[in-house]
Amino acid sequence: MHEVEIPDLPPLKPNEQSLLEMHSLLNIFNVLRGELALIGLQAAGNDELLFRGLAVCDELISALCDPAASLSAARATEDCIAAIRSEIEGLFAQRPALSGHPEVSESVANLETVFAILRVRAGELLARAQWRDRWTEFSVSSLLRDFQEVFSAIEKNSRGRFRIIYNAATQQPQDYYVDFKIESIGGDRIWMPPGFKDVMRDLIANARKYTPPGGHITAAAHESAGELRFVVEDTGRGIPREEIGRVVQFGQRASNVGDVRTMGGGFGLTKAVFITKRFGGRLWIASEVGRGTRIRILLPRPPAAELVPAPSPARAPETPATGAQGSS
């Protein structure tokens, strides 16, 4: 596959930059909207049945476009959760039979796992605002667990259409095989820029999204004394060669993915380039239609004297976050 290095992005508007900064929260609000619409369809054939919850999500999504209001939206997640729970309780009070409806019950349970993820993402963004331009230390083992939860959430959100497995010998035709590794000179500690965990998650989610079941996704991060490297490669549908420079621009997708259902905003790749360039890094894309895509990122590591531990992000309650998917 021919590899292309991506140059700087065209200048972003303030609302576009705000959405990139809040991308992980935007994805969860979109997942919430999807679950609420699904419950409405299951309960009454009306995807706008839970209109109050949908309106709260839309209000917060709109706030994420405003740099001045976006952090307030992150702080409002508990109000959003309370409003949605209240509306669902009211629905069950009006229609008691729904509480025993298996599909509705499954979707309501999924909502609770989405709420848990929402709390985590909001906490990360609020904490990150305190050290926007400073690299942050992570536990490698915790990162691996976090990403396994992401994979588990993607699988559960498929409602049985596929599995995600980690041993190629067990792969069935409808399974994704994922090979994911993180290594660091610091052993179980690795340093990354703020937001780079989001970039890794978004690029892996994109690789899964644009790869049919039965495919293979490889992702790996490696920190040395001088640099941080990350690569994600898939066996998916690929990007037309002449469009590689365009798909990294805000809101753009390749011409061959219009049939793929997505809840994201179409700027996961834009965020990857944005974060990479902010921290003086380089990003390459190699892709071939029908064969797959490989994205490589290289970030120069700051001197050790500049790696000052940042405040710990707010933690969500210990609720298993295994029922929702962040999309790009």
Model pLDDT, residue 321 = 34
Residue 45 burial class via C-beta count within 10 angstroms: exposed 0-12, middle 13-18, buried 19 and up:
exposed
pTM above 0.75, yes or no: yes
**Contact (Cβ atoms closer than 8 angstroms) between residue 212 and residue 250:** no
Query: Quick one: pLDDT at residue 133?
Result: 78
pLDDT in single tens digits along all 328 residues of the chain: 889 999 999 899 999 999 999 998 998 999 999 999 999 999 999 999 999 999 999 999 999 999 889 999 999 999 999 999 999 999 999 999 988 899 999 899 889 988 988 998 999 899 888 777 788 899 999 999 989 888 888 888 787 899 999 999 999 999 999 999 999 999 999 999 988 999 999 999 999 999 999 999 999 999 999 999 999 999 999 999 999 988 999 888 888 766 666 655 678 899 999 999 999 999 999 999 999 999 999 999 998 767 766 555 444 333 333 333 444 4
Report the distance separating Cα 132 and Cα 165, nearest Å.
35
Residue among 167, 175, 243, 231 nearest 204 (CA) = 231
Please give the structure tokens belonging to residue 113.
């796992």
| Domain definitions of the chain by residue range | 3-11+134-306, 15-129
Amino acid present at 308: V
Closest CA to 50 of 102, 111, 9: 111
Q: Give the up-direction half-sphere exposure of residue 200: CA atoms within 13 A in the CB hemisphere.
A: 26
pLDDT of residue 322: 33
CB 166 within 8 A of CB 152: no
Q: What is the pLDDT of residue 306?
A: 74
CATH superfamily of 3-11+134-306: Histidine kinase-like ATPase, C-terminal domain (3.30.565.10)
Distances (CA, A) of 253 to 15, 218, 238, 291, 295: 19, 22, 12, 18, 15
Compute how many other C-beta atoms are within 10 angstroms of the C-beta atom of residue 312: 9
Label each residue of the chain as H, E or C: CCEEECCCCCCCCHHHHHHHHCHHHHHHHHHHHHHHHHHHHHHHCCCCCCHHHHHHHHHHHHHCCCCCCHHHHHHCHHHHHHHHHHHHHHHHHHCHHHHHCHHHHHHHHHHHHHHHHHHHHHHHHHHHHHHCCCCEEEEHHHHHHHHHHHHHHHHHHCCCCCEEECCHHHCCCCEEEEEEEEEECECCEEEECCCHHHHHHHHHHHHHHCCCCCCEEEEEEEECCCEEEEEEEECCCCCCHHHHHHHCCCCCCCCCCCCCCCCCCCCHHHHHHHHHHHCCCEEEEEEECCCEEEEEEEEECCCHHHCCCCCCCCCCCCCCCCCCCCCC
